[in-house]
Amino acid sequence: MLGNTFGRVFRVTTCGESYGIGKGSGLSVIVDGVPPGLNITKEDIQKELDKRRPGQTPLDSPRKETDQCDIFSGLGQEGLTTGAPLGIIVYNVDTQQIHIDQYASYKDLIRPGHAEYTFFTKYGKYADWCGAGRASGRETVGRVAGGAVAKFILEKEGIEVIGYTKEVMGIRSKEMTFDEVKENYRKNDLNCPDLVAAKKMIDRILEIKDEGETAGGIVEIRVRGLPAGLGEPVFDKLNATIAHGLASIGAVKGIEFGAGFKVANMKGSDCNDHPYLDGDRVRFRTNNAGGFLGGMSNGEEIVVRIAVKPTPTLSVDQPSVDMYKMEETILSPITRRDPTICGRIYAVGEAMVAIAIVDSLMMAHGYASVCKIDNPWRQI
């Protein structure tokens, strides 16, 4: 299996499956490019992992994983990073035989919305059928652990990354400032900062859960404190790198920056963000571009939204195909699932955005240190 690394200078490589084999199974991440001398602890990693940990609310999968992490490499005897790759591991603890048997009972069937069919076509009879293997949402544990390292680095640069549920089943949060979002961050099970809208969303999700169904939604991720000029102008645009990271999350089906798809119905003069001087700094009166110009950061908040699909595992019958018998059949799975993924996936979105930004920062600083050009407007 290829493609388990994200990043070019700050590189995050993950491994591990939803279930794996035996009591030692788990998920791991190697973070390469970590600067030496950082006082990063397992508690710093843990607080991010706890955001996506299942089994905490009625909106989560009831799978009881503790998701406790250990840092197994990259720290010296004083507890500081050495500059070597940082290794983090999280063991699976709730892989009961009853659930393995449930997966085994329909392992030859295509689960609608899951990756079984494409895994059959790519890996044949060797594809991991237990809990979807690497295609499971549990794969994101390693991403969040790597993202915790990235967020630790960004905090020292004065850069904040925050994600939250923006919309569920047509119920939308009001527009809020970055500080308003921070004030209400994680104050409800869905992590929606609009507390009134959050209650309506949660009530609707629980109704859908009672139907045996699941709910989709929109998660918004914002970044504050990013200097202008970060990113490369052609293939490695910062928004393209962020989009790559976000699109690699299994449940993401759409991405938009700033005004997003609304720009299709705008005139140019309405869409353009008009610059003005705020002291000795250039600012923009609107942020339809979502914090980018030419694919590079323009100094305003980065605003990106992801469309999150409903959890594909349902408690209702669905048409399927038996891949060994090549017969049409009906799938009636009985296994654990999230009524909505929105209340946990925001942590994964934060992680991927943070990793992309740290990677771009390191590239930018390296390029500038070699070029040594006279640029009075440079902010990085």
CATH number of domain containing 127: 3.60.150.10
Say if 380 falls within a structural domain. Answer: no
On whether residue 176 sits in a domain, the answer given is yes
Extract the tokens encoding 151. Answer: 């967020």
Structurally, the chain folds into a number of domains equal to 1
Which is higher by pLDDT, 51 or 368? 51
Burial readout 218-246 (b: 16 or more C-beta within 10 A, e: otherwise): bbbbbbbebbbbbbbeeeebbbbbbbebb
Instruction: Work out the percent of the chain whose per-residue pLDDT is above 70.
Output: 100
* Residue 329, Cβ density class (10 Å: 0-12 exposed, 13-18 middle, ≥19 buried): middle
Q: Does the residue 376 lie in any domain?
A: no
Mean pLDDT within 315-337: 90
- DSSP track, 188-257: STT--S-HHHHHHHHHHHHHHHHTT--B-EEEEEEEESPPTT-S-SSTT-HHHHHHHHHHTSTTEEEEEE
Residue with tokens 């507890």: 79
Query: Is residue 45 a part of any domain in this protein?
Result: yes
Residue 375 has pLDDT above 90, yes or no: no
Residue 335 in any domain: the answer is yes
CA distance 161 to 184: 15
CA 201 to chain centre: 21
Give the pTM: 0.95
Spatial distance between the Cα atoms of 157 and 35, rounded to a whole number of angstroms: 13
The one-letter amino acid code at 92 reads: N
**pLDDT tens digits for range 257-310:** 999 999 999 999 999 999 999 999 999 999 999 999 999 999 999 999 999 999
Evaluate if residue 374 carries a pLDDT over 90.
no
Q: Which domain holds residue 262?
A: 5-371
- Strands 69-73, 327-331: pairing kind: unpaired
Domain membership of residue 378 (yes or no) is no
Q: Kindly indicate the confidence band of residue 312, based on its pLDDT and cuts at 50, 70 and 90.
A: very high
Average pLDDT, rounded, for the chain: 94
User: What pLDDT shows up at residue 72?
Assistant: 97
In angstroms, the Cα distances linking 38 to 78, 82, 85, 89, 197 are 11, 8, 13, 19, 40
40-82: per-residue pLDDT in tens? 999 999 999 999 998 899 998 888 889 999 999 999 999 999 9
pLDDT in tens, 131-184: 888 999 999 999 999 999 999 999 999 999 999 999 999 999 999 999 999 999
- The pLDDT of residue 321 is 96
Residue 139 lies in a domain: yes
| Contact between residue 94 and residue 63 where contact means Cβ atoms under 8 Å apart | yes
Give me 293's structure tokens: 């110009």
Tokens standing for residue 297: 């950061």
For residue 14, pLDDT beyond 90: yes
Q: Does the residue 41 lie in any domain?
A: yes
The answer to whether the beta carbons of residues 199 and 192 sit under 8 Å apart is no
pLDDT of residue 6: 98
When pLDDT is averaged across residues 350-368 and rounded to a whole number, the result is 95
71 versus 22: which is more confidently predicted? 71
- pLDDT at residue 20, as a whole number: 83
